[in-house]
Structure 1
Amino acid sequence: MGAGLVRIQQVKVPVSDLQRSVTWYRSLLGLDLMREFIEEGEPTGAVLVDREAGFLIGLRRRDAVSGSPRFPGFDLFTMGLSSVEALDELAAHCDDVGIEHGELLDRGPDGTQLDIPDPDGTVIRFLSPLGDDGPAFAGVELSAAGQMTFYSTPRLSI
């Protein structure tokens, strides 16, 4: 792609209940409803926006998406926050508005993460900035028991 790529501007999430998800994402992130899509008289999609950050989240009713994709338990995307303190504030906000969330997890040089499942169980991961003390590359191998080991030479062709 090259030098023109600046950032990811929009993510699109398949949802089972559009109204519930619009309400949930707006409550969690303080987003504004920017657009909605109606097909055959029924709302099938919405776009929420953080105009200051220039970031969009598209929500699309799952039954209006080819293949009806589902992602329960999967961290479909990660949103960066400015600090661990901002993660703490987000967790406290979740507590205030009744949104379930995981614990803050210190990932060393990979930052600190907070996982928040949406109403369909799709995990929205929030991550603090990366640390400076990690290697340029670190592979992670997961055993069947879920234990992690790390390696330093890529196995993929690069």
Structure 2
Amino acid sequence: MSFPGLQHVAITVSDLERSARWYSALFGAEPLLDEDEEGGRFHHAVYALDGGMLFGLHTHHGRETGERFTEERTGLDHVGFAVGSHGELEQWAHKLTAMGIAHDGIKKAHYGSGISFRDPDNIALEFFAFPES
């Protein structure tokens, strides 16, 4: 039996409305759902991405701290989105710039190239492409 791929990622945000606007602009789509979880513990907005992947934003009721994310604490380091080529990375760099989203441009390494940027809660995100053969 092979190990399954990721089906969804859910991140906790401090202001769901603000983050949903930001991610809707980034993804070019509105959430597939935006509702309270059945048990009432959290509210979430979920986006459907290419390849059947879901990306969720959660706000846990009574737990909003306003703390900014840092990958230096135990837990999530960053979320990487796959792109197919260096050309696509260049397109994303232009789109991020046009949207006013700060990034450091395309960084190359022997294992691939990527563009790192952050969401409104400082959560680290990346577009990544494997090396072209």
- Cα shift readout 1:55-113 (whole Å, capped 9, x = no counterpart): 211100155669998633564221111011111101101111212222210012x1001
Q: CA deviation at 1:128?
A: 0.5
Task: Identify unmatched segments of 5+ residues in structure 1.
Answer: 133-158
Change in Cα spacing, 1:85 to 1:16, as seen in structure 2 (3 Å) is same
Other structure's SS at 2:104 match = coil
Match runs of 1:54-133 below 5 Å: 54-61=52-59, 71-73=69-71, 75-108=77-110, 110-130=111-131
Query: TM-score with structure 1 length normalisation?
Result: 0.67
Change in Cα spacing, 1:101 to 1:63, as seen in structure 2 (3 Å) is farther
Q: 1:45 aligns to what?
A: 44
Q: 2:8 aligns to what?
A: 10
Root-mean-square deviation over aligned CA pairs = 3.0
Q: Which amino acid aligns with 2:2?
A: A
Change in Cα spacing, 1:67 to 1:87, as seen in structure 2 (3 Å) is same
Say if 1:14 and 1:69, in contact at 8 Å, map to a contact too: no
- Cα shift readout 1:110-155 (whole Å, capped 9, x = no counterpart): 10011010001011112112466xxxxxxxxxxxxxxxxxxxxxxx
Query: TM-score with structure 2 length normalisation?
Result: 0.78
The separation in 1 between residues aligned to 2:100 and 2:31, in whole angstroms, is 21
Aligned length: 127
The separation in 2 between residues aligned to 1:22 and 1:38, in whole angstroms, is 14
Pick the aligned partner of 1:29 from 27, 30, 38.
27
Say if 2:116 and 2:124, in contact at 8 Å, map to a contact too: yes
Identity, % of aligned positions: 27
Say if 1:14 and 1:65, in contact at 8 Å, map to a contact too: no
Task: Identify unmatched segments of 5+ residues in structure 2.
Answer: none
